[in-house]
């Protein structure tokens, strides 16, 4: 479905040569009024643009718009029914992500230098744009004056920047400084300007009161703290960057990025009510047992000279894992047995000297600890009381579904791509059938199928929350597209690489894991980023099957509240803008990073 429009097919365009700086008059003449036709086009487009902007602004700021429907419901939009008393958990999670972001910015040396001349230019253009928009918008007189003052401020900033640039051409500002400065000024306004004019009193008979005191107003303190957290993490990152080995720090940070959402959702936000007895006498011994025994077995199995016997042991463990389904047993044991079987089956690929073998065992240990903890956490009821299955809703649900879809679909996609390019016909057949089938049908039919039909395919008494079944369906769908992206990467790996790997005596699996896949994955990063953004956008389809995602909240929940009946258009506009901001900034950021790192090129 709105298949992820990767720009894969679009060839990378060489950056246009830097245009010589022209004085305004000549610039206008060259770019807008070079000849009669050009002048006509300029005038016509200007008229069209101005009237469109006029219409849009009239629509957005017309007197009949109930924008307080959005303002009062901002909590519903972001976290849905998460209890207010537990909001510290949300702030903590947010802070954790900000710490990671700050550290990453420092360690990957994010940000660029922006020359003041360019800053001045953008400040000027934003200022002029804002002034025109305000002039077009049907605001009250005081509103117009306020906004025109803001536009004037931007123009003034442009003027100052210009003066600085005039003094010294080379002077520049870090884009990070600019970002923090902008954020800081926005947050500073929270302390002075009462944004909302309505507040909500939740009661049996709820009320919306028209007096200041809104979410934005009451959260100025947390937001300020968040800003300091971000800045602090950045400076900590700089310190760490200079002290620690770069490569290892980066990979550890990547690991944190991957783990943190799961950690935050299942530990911080859900706050599972662990029963100490169960944890101490069942879970911990189980995990420890598997950790020790598994590590030993894997250490033994990765011995290069082992040969045949390794495979036999691996098959036996795997058989035991599958066989365990025939006898009543704890699910966690079955999962661990099968995982151990798969790990030992893959062991010969990772054989080598002692340190390699030790690393493989430690990977297993890490896996078992995280998996054990996660399974226990998932199976423990939450202490945070939220209505029903709807632990999350609004933007949080959108983000979480997108995250899990991506996390589940990438490995699956890699497997499918490998199967599709393998030389084993049945694998190829199965993978090709699956991929082509999934790519041939719209996402909505798959989502409806998984929400309506999946419960029928499950054994008696087993019930999956609708969100889970839909996420599974979405992940399967997405995996087919991921597989195609990766296949593109796999095919771009030259034949020489295959031959070289074979020449040094690598087995097929070693060749795939250590030589081919890393190159293929690197090649397919740009289309995958596009795919990820698309996945996020397409979560809006959850609206159709009635899950409380961002769109559902804006389209169906809020316009039905007694106080805000029929406030559809403003909520839709807000949702569109929110989606736009998220996906536009994501795609811009990824483009910049790709360009800097030189991804997708060989």
Show contacts with other proteins in window 491-510 (CB under 8 A): 491
Nearest alpha carbon to residue 46 among 32, 27, 61: 32
Among 168, 385, 496, 598, binds other proteins (CB under 8 A): 385
Which residue, 476 or 541, is less far from other proteins as judged by CB? 541
Give the phi and the psi of residue 459 in degrees, each rounded to 5.
-65, 160
Which residue, 295 or 349, is less far from other proteins as judged by CB? 349
Alpha-carbon distance of 527 to 485, in angstroms, equals: 6
Q: Which residues in the 505-544 window bind other proteins by CB under 8 A?
A: 537-538, 540-541, 543-544
Among 15, 245, 277, 457, binds other proteins (CB under 8 A): 457
Alpha-carbon distance of 107 to 237, in angstroms, equals: 6
> How far, CA to CA in Å, does 18 sit from each of 15, 113, 457, 593?
9, 17, 61, 20
Which residue, 87 or 147, is less far from other proteins as judged by CB? 87
Among 65, 197, 439, 522, binds other proteins (CB under 8 A): 439
Q: In the bound complex, what is the minimum distance in angstroms from residue 491's beta carbon to other proteins?
A: 7
Among 273, 437, 494, 514, binds other proteins (CB under 8 A): 437
x/- mask, other proteins, residues 66-105, rule CB under 8 A, reads: ------xx-xx--xxxxxx---------------------
DSSP notation for 556-572 = IIGGGSGGGTT-HHHHH
Contact call for residue 17 and other proteins (CB under 8 A): no
Stretch that binds other proteins, among 110-118, 221-229, 406-414, 568-576 (CB under 8 A): 568-576
Contact call for residue 50 and other proteins (CB under 8 A): no
Stretch that binds other proteins, among 9-17, 137-145, 182-190, 290-298 (CB under 8 A): 9-17
Helix (H) or strand (E) holding 113: strand 113-115
Residue 467 zone, left/alpha/beta (φ > 0; ψ -120 to 50; rest): alpha
Q: Residue with structure tokens 């159709």? A: 544
Q: Which residues in the 175-234 window bind other proteins by CB under 8 A?
A: 200, 202, 204-206, 208
Q: Between β-strands 113-115 and 172-174, what pairing exists: parallel, antiparallel or unpaired? A: antiparallel
x/- mask, other proteins, residues 350-379, rule CB under 8 A, reads: ----------------------------xx
Among 36, 276, 426, 503, binds other proteins (CB under 8 A): 426
Stretch that binds other proteins, among 102-110, 137-145, 354-362, 435-443 (CB under 8 A): 435-443
Q: Which residues in the 261-300 window bind other proteins by CB under 8 A?
A: none
* Residues 206-213: contacts with CB under 8 Å, at least 24 apart: 208/68, 208/72, 208/563, 208/564
Contact call for residue 250 and other proteins (CB under 8 A): no
Number of residues in the chain: 602
Which residue, 340 or 582, is less far from other proteins as judged by CB? 582
Among 183, 300, 587, 594, binds other proteins (CB under 8 A): 587
Contact call for residue 583 and other proteins (CB under 8 A): yes
DSSP structure class, residue 85: G
Stretch that binds other proteins, among 98-106, 243-251, 327-335, 405-413 (CB under 8 A): 327-335
Residue 346, C-beta contacts closer than 8 angstroms, at least 6 positions apart: 509
Residue 284, C-beta contacts closer than 8 angstroms, at least 6 positions apart: none
- DSSP E strands: which ranges in 139-179? 172-174
Residue 338 tokens read as 């099968």
Among 357, 420, 511, 531, binds other proteins (CB under 8 A): 420
Q: Dihedral through CA 532, CA 537, CA 543, CA 547, nearest 10? A: 40
Stretch that binds other proteins, among 30-38, 144-152, 159-167, 225-233 (CB under 8 A): 30-38
């Amino acid at each position: 479905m709105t298949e992820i429009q990767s720009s894969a097919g679009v060839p990378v365009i060489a950056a246009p040569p830097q245009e010589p700086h022209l004085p305004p008059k000549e610039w206008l003449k060259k770019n807008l009024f070079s000849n009669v036709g050009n002048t006509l086009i300029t005038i016509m487009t200007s008229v069209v643009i101005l009237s469109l902007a006029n219409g849009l602004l009239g629509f957005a700021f017309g007197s009949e718009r109930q924008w307080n429907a959005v303002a009062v419901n901002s909590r519903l939009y972001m976290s849905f029914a998460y209890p207010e008393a537990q909001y510290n958990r949300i702030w903590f999670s947010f802070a954790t992500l900000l710490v990671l972001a700050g550290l990453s910015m420092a360690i990957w040396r994010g940000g660029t230098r922006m020359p003041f001349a360019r800053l001045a230019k953008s400040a000027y253009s934003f200022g002029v744009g804002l002034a025109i928009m305000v002039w077009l918008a049907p605001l009250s007189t005081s509103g117009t004056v306020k906004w025109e003052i803001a536009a004037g401020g931007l123009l003034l900033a442009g003027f100052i920047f210009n003066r600085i640039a005039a003094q010294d051409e080379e002077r520049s500002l870090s884009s990070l400084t600019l970002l923090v400065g902008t954020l800081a000024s926005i947050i500073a306004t929270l302390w002075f300007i009462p944004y909302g004019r309505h507040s909500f009193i939740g009661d049996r008979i709820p009320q919306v009161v028209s007096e200041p005191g809104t979410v934005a107003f009451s959260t100025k303190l947390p937001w300020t703290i968040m800003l300091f957290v971000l800045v602090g993490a950045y400076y900590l990152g700089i310190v760490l960057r200079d002290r620690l080995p770069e490569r290892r720090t980066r990979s550890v940070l990547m690991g944190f990025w991957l783990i943190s959402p799961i950690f935050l959702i299942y530990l911080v936000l859900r706050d599972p009510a662990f029963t100490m007895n169960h944890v101490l006498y069942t879970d911990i011994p189980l995990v420890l047992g598997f950790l020790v025994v598994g590590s030993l077995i894997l250490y033994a199995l990765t011995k290069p000279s082992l040969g045949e016997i390794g495979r036999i042991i691996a098959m036996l463990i795997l058989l035991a894992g599958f066989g365990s389904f025939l006898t009543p047993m704890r699910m966690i044991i079955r999962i661990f047995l099968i995982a151990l079987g798969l790990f030992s089956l893959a062991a010969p690929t990772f054989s080598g000297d002692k340190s390699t073998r030790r690393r493989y065992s430690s990977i297993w240990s890490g896996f078992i600890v995280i998996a054990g903890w996660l399974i226990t956490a998932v199976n423990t009821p939450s202490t945070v009381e939220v209505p029903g299955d709807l632990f999350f809703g609004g933007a949080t649900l959108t983000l979480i579904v997108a995250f899990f879809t991506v996390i589940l679909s990438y490995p699956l996609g890699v497997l499918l791509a490998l199967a599709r390019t393998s030389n084993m016909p049945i694998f190829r057949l199965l993978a090709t059938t699956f991929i082509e089938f999934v790519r041939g049908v719209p996402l909505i039919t798959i989502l409806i199928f998984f929400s309506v039909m999946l419960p029928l395919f499950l054994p008696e008494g087993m019930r999956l929350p609708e969100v889970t079944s839909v996420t599974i369906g979405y992940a399967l769908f997405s995996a087919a597209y991921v597989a195609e992206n990766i296949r593109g990467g796999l095919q771009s790996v030259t034949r020489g690489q295959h031959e070289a790997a074979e020449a040094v005596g690598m087995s097929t699996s070693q060749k795939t894991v250590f030589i081919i896949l890393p190159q293929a994955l690197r090649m397919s990063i740009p289309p995958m980023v596009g795919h990820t953004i698309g996945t996020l956008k397409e979560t809006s389809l959850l609206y159709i099957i009635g899950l409380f995602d961002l769109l559902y909240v804006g389209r169906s929940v809020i316009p039905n509240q007694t106080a805000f009946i029929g406030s559809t258009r403003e909520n839709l506009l807000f949702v569109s803008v929110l989606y736009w901001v998220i996906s536009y900034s994501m795609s811009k950021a990824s483009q910049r990073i790709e360009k800097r790192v030189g991804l997708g090129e060989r």
